[in-house]
Structure 1
Amino acid sequence: MAEVTPSGAGGPIRLTGPTAAGGLEIRGGIGGITFQLEELVGGAEKLDGLAEELASVETDVQRIQGNLGPYQLSQAHSWTEAMSTLTRSWAGIQAVRAELQAISSQVRASKRDYEAAEAVTSLLANMGIPSFRDFDHVRLDDPLWPDLHGTDLALRNAVKARHEVLGIAEALFPALEPRRIAVDRQETMPIDFDGTPAALLERARIVDERGPGYIEVIETDSGGQKAYVVVIPGTQAGDDIGGANPFDVAGIGEAVGHQSAEVNIAVRAALQDAGAEQGAPVVAVGYSQGGIHAMNLAADPQFRSEYEMKYVLTAGSPVGGIDPVAGVTSLHLEHRQDAVPGADGTPNPDARNRVTVTLLDQVTTPEGEDVGLGPGHRLANYQKAAGLIGASDDPTLTDSTAVLAGVVGLGGTATATRFALTRTPAATASAPGPLQQPAQGPPVQKSETDRQVTTGKMQG
């Protein structure tokens, strides 16, 4: 395709792959190959229209030449000059038309070739056959922690059976089955909120510190337009797996195997209690497990029937296989040393409305801190990356963050409401829908609660 540019156009048409700047690899969005090809195909359609117009001009020239026939003898000299000029014009128009049609054909062929190559790559990946890129990312210097792409490679076949595995696990351990979630409003407070990816991840950190089982709903007001941000924490591991906290290890099973069905219901109840009216725009942010829940909200038909999901931010979350509807913009943060985003065995798609930013820096676990799921999975790393994204002038990133700012505004005072979510005991979990007023909420940890301005309980 690069060699079939219009004559005198100034250079060949070139596609660009993922860009790397400031330690960030950026894939998808307006800089992604998929969007570039879509734009080129749109240009090819316009070229086809121009070619049709030129074909019509060719016909007109031929018609004019035919009309000049009677003057061949009476005005031989003028007739010869006119016919010569028309012939040259016709040949030039024909050449331009043919060139435009050839370029259009080559662009479409390139798109077909790209889609075919992607299909073959996907087929090989599903068969467990690695690509050169997989080997390029396998890290041999730190065998303890597999990297992002190494995890994708290892789990591509295993994830196919995830539903069967979860079904067996839930049959053996009923406590792992999703259960109704009680929703209890705890406190409401004014906060400073600037509407950036860094601000969203900071709220995820604060909510996690509030205690196990908490989410937060932030109401923003930009020029009289209210929007709501749902903040969901990552996995909060504990000894009581499948207990009261819906974000424990068992919560991963609900997110992956049940599309966050009960969490989605609880989030809708929390939004309603926070004052979100039907059709209100919503932004969801989640770290690790929370990112899966956030993306599942964007893909949930029931949630979409009540609210308009506009933007999702995930950090360290395996969400490649979750497909939100058109109109939802998503920004996914991953770290090359973080195995968790690759746990679903499915890379995030290269799409106009999905941007994936991979951190490329080498990190280690700070001395004295828990290793957890490895140094790359630490929320602090993703917070740092979010700050870099907010300050970046990369067109793909500025386009994505502009969408976020367009929903929640450019900053100011917002209202945050905290909710304690509690799984009901298995014996009382037969009826669908959210519960209210749990008998005992998650334990409270010291955090921003000393700055709260109002408290209240959800009324049944």
Structure 2
Amino acid sequence: MAEVSPAGSGGAPVPSAPVDGMLRIRGGVGGLSFSFEELLAGASVLDGLVRDLAEVEAEAEGVRRALFPYQSDSYSSGSTAIVAVGEAARALGRVRTELERLCSEVRASHREYESAEARNTLLLRIGRTGPGYGPLWGLAGLPPPTVRDTVQDDFSLTTGMLALLLGLPAGAAAAGGPAGGVRAAIRGLTDAPGLHFLRPRPVRIAGRETRTEEADVSPAGLLLRAGAVGRNSGEIEVLRLGERGNRAWAVIIPGTQLDGQPQGTNPFDAAGIAEGLGFDSAETAAAIREALAEAGAEAGDQVAAVGYSQGGIHAMNLGRDRAFLADYELKFVLTAGSPVGAIEPGAGTSSLHLEHEQDWVPGADGLPNPDLLDRVTVTLTTPIPGHEWLEPGMGPGHALERYADGARDVAASQDPSLQASTAALAAVVGAGGTATVTRFSFRREALPPQRGTPVAPGPRRSTGEKPADPAQQPAA
């Protein structure tokens, strides 16, 4: 987080992320973490040079001493040689000393930058969460807290808002308790009375359909595909790109769906959020791995995963699923409006995350995305018309179309972090063209009724799901 203050303003510097139009950018080659790494890498190189010079200096001193016995053979030339070697050793010593000083200053600079960044982060947190700081925050010239910031801080302190995220009665998430964060709270929820429907259950492939079409594989095009897939409950899409020998795959995962299938059988319903945030998407990842195999993917093939909202959680979890990574090489993950700050994919996976400052969903896991070389987070700051706030849903900041517009701005940006990230995505999916597209229909194993408990005929308002079809319920 850089510190900026207008020249000649006389004001104190305030924390600010790199900005490109309506995009605030964090991570990547322009991120602070990479800059810190570069400083330390430079200091390490200087350390190596200092060690090399010290060895040469010691050798020169050894040569000078070795010349002493020969000084009497030719006093004039012998003395001259001894003096010359000694001067060379002293010159090396002066260079070594200067490099040691420079190395020390580089490391001190790194410490000061880290200290300033920690201070700025603390100030931002106090400004968002400290009671009574609101007016002072504005007077200090610092940016006001956003919806996304506020929700992230709320979730980092308490898990009560999980009820809203999962469509549960208010306060139900308290059953999980705050210890261990959102992940532990969700696991606790699944053990609470009446919330057994949140427990992960096996996900299977119920059908598939394959066609060939022209595919837009730009970031915006891939996100719009996630929106199109999401119009059919329980479906994902697998794109085969390129030819054998230069073939890659893209997996498109939709957002949360609360209707369209018999109760509890859609893997992308509210329980899918619980599986993603609390159980690493284990069942859904297994089904995606099977879908890739059925589509023709072979061991070692490169894969890009794209997900919107809940889909982004599942996409990121593929990056730490050992079984998936044993079969395929997950090279890139693209998410939009997804709470994925707590998910750390394995080495070799790059990711690009789009968030809107007025979208509360990306902050629902209580953690910001890490600032890393291969992980770039873009916060969209586009204004939202007032009338959109009156529309139903997860809020206008969560609209997929708004994220697709932001993805177009990302693709056109000259920011080095965004250019490197979009190039990494293009290296997997190519420039687009003809693709073989397979739609897979997923179904979660139906939830058996509790023994001795009749199946309720009406809808379960706490989850927003449709009533179950009794004919599809297994016998007790």
TM tier relative to shorter chain: 0.7 to 0.9
Q: What residue identity is the alignment partner of 2:314?
A: H
Give the Å deviation of 1:18: 3.7
Distance across 2 between alignment mates of 1:302 and 1:115: 37
- 1:262 maps to 283
Note closer, same or farther for the CA distance 1:368–1:395 as it changes in structure 2 (3 Å cut): closer
Distance across 1 between alignment mates of 2:440 and 2:253: 11
Distance across 1 between alignment mates of 2:29 and 2:320: 22
> Deviations along 1:292-315, whole A, 9 cap, x unmatched?
011111111111122211110000
Unmatched 5+ stretches in structure 2? 1-14, 139-144, 160-179, 451-465, 467-476
Q: What residue identity is the alignment partner of 1:304?
A: L
Distance across 2 between alignment mates of 1:334 and 1:134: 21
Give the Å deviation of 1:183: 1.2
Note closer, same or farther for the CA distance 1:409–1:161 as it changes in structure 2 (3 Å cut): closer
1:23 partnered with 2:19:
no
1:130 partnered with 2:129:
no
Note closer, same or farther for the CA distance 1:348–1:241 as it changes in structure 2 (3 Å cut): farther
- 1:339 maps to 360
Alignment of 1:60-75 (within 5 A): 60-66=59-65, 69=68
Give the Å deviation of 1:404: 1.2
Calculate the aligned-residue CA RMSD, in Å.
3.6
Give the Å deviation of 1:70: 6.5
Q: TM-score, normalised by structure 2?
A: 0.75
Distance across 2 between alignment mates of 1:247 and 1:257: 14
Give the Å deviation of 1:419: 1.2
Note closer, same or farther for the CA distance 1:176–1:74 as it changes in structure 2 (3 Å cut): closer
Give the Å deviation of 1:165: 5.0
Q: What residue identity is the alignment partner of 2:26?
A: R
3-state SS of paired residue (1:290): helix
Give the Å deviation of 1:39: 2.5
Distance across 1 between alignment mates of 2:146 and 2:21: 23
Note closer, same or farther for the CA distance 1:241–1:378 as it changes in structure 2 (3 Å cut): farther
Alignment of 1:408-423 (within 5 A): 408-423=429-444
- 2:34 maps to 35
Q: Out of 348, 357, 360, which is 1:327 matched to?
A: 348
1:279 partnered with 2:300:
yes
> Deviations along 1:261-281, whole A, 9 cap, x unmatched?
221121112112111122221
- 2:221 maps to 199
> Deviations along 1:160-202, whole A, 9 cap, x unmatched?
4543455335542332322222313332222222432112112
Note closer, same or farther for the CA distance 1:178–1:118 as it changes in structure 2 (3 Å cut): farther
Give the Å deviation of 1:349: 0.5
Give the Å deviation of 1:101: 2.3
Q: Out of 180, 200, 205, which is 2:202 matched to?
A: 180
Note closer, same or farther for the CA distance 1:194–1:359 as it changes in structure 2 (3 Å cut): same
- 2:238 maps to 217
Distance across 2 between alignment mates of 1:121 and 1:322: 24
Counting aligned pairs with the same residue, the percent is 45
Distance across 1 between alignment mates of 2:194 and 2:300: 41
> Deviations along 1:425-444, whole A, 9 cap, x unmatched?
21399xxxxxxxxxxxxx9x
Note closer, same or farther for the CA distance 1:249–1:19 as it changes in structure 2 (3 Å cut): same
Note closer, same or farther for the CA distance 1:137–1:264 as it changes in structure 2 (3 Å cut): farther
- Segments ≥4 residues shifted beyond 4 Å: 67-88, 108-122, 131-140, 239-242, 365-369
| Higher mean displacement: 84-93 or 215-224 | 84-93
Q: What residue identity is the alignment partner of 1:20?
A: V
- 2:158 maps to 158
Note closer, same or farther for the CA distance 1:247–1:294 as it changes in structure 2 (3 Å cut): same
- For the 8 Å contact 1:234–1:290, the answer to whether it is kept is yes
Q: Out of 407, 411, 415, which is 2:428 matched to?
A: 407
- For the 8 Å contact 2:186–2:274, the answer to whether it is kept is no
- 1:51 maps to 50
Distance across 1 between alignment mates of 2:64 and 2:181: 72
- For the 8 Å contact 2:249–2:302, the answer to whether it is kept is yes
Distance across 2 between alignment mates of 1:228 and 1:165: 32
- For the 8 Å contact 1:319–1:341, the answer to whether it is kept is yes
Q: TM-score, normalised by structure 1?
A: 0.77
- For the 8 Å contact 2:186–2:277, the answer to whether it is kept is no
> Deviations along 1:122-172, whole A, 9 cap, x unmatched?
9x89xxx934577899999xxxx9611111111112244543455335542
3-state SS of paired residue (2:442): strand
Give the Å deviation of 1:289: 0.6
Give the Å deviation of 1:371: 3.8
- For the 8 Å contact 2:305–2:334, the answer to whether it is kept is yes
- For the 8 Å contact 2:233–2:259, the answer to whether it is kept is no
- 1:246 maps to 267
3-state SS of paired residue (2:242): strand
- 1:99 maps to 98
Note closer, same or farther for the CA distance 1:299–1:110 as it changes in structure 2 (3 Å cut): farther
Distance across 1 between alignment mates of 2:247 and 2:128: 44
Note closer, same or farther for the CA distance 1:29–1:425 as it changes in structure 2 (3 Å cut): same
Give the Å deviation of 1:364: 3.0
Note closer, same or farther for the CA distance 1:147–1:406 as it changes in structure 2 (3 Å cut): same
- For the 8 Å contact 1:193–1:412, the answer to whether it is kept is yes
Distance across 1 between alignment mates of 2:99 and 2:129: 39
Note closer, same or farther for the CA distance 1:132–1:105 as it changes in structure 2 (3 Å cut): farther
Q: Out of 222, 225, 232, which is 2:253 matched to?
A: 232
> Deviations along 1:300-331, whole A, 9 cap, x unmatched?
11111222111100001000000110011111
Distance across 1 between alignment mates of 2:103 and 2:263: 57
3-state SS of paired residue (1:338): coil
Give the Å deviation of 1:257: 1.3
- 2:172 maps to none
Distance across 1 between alignment mates of 2:126 and 2:301: 43
Distance across 2 between alignment mates of 1:137 and 1:383: 33
Say how many residue pairs are matched.
407
- 1:9 maps to none
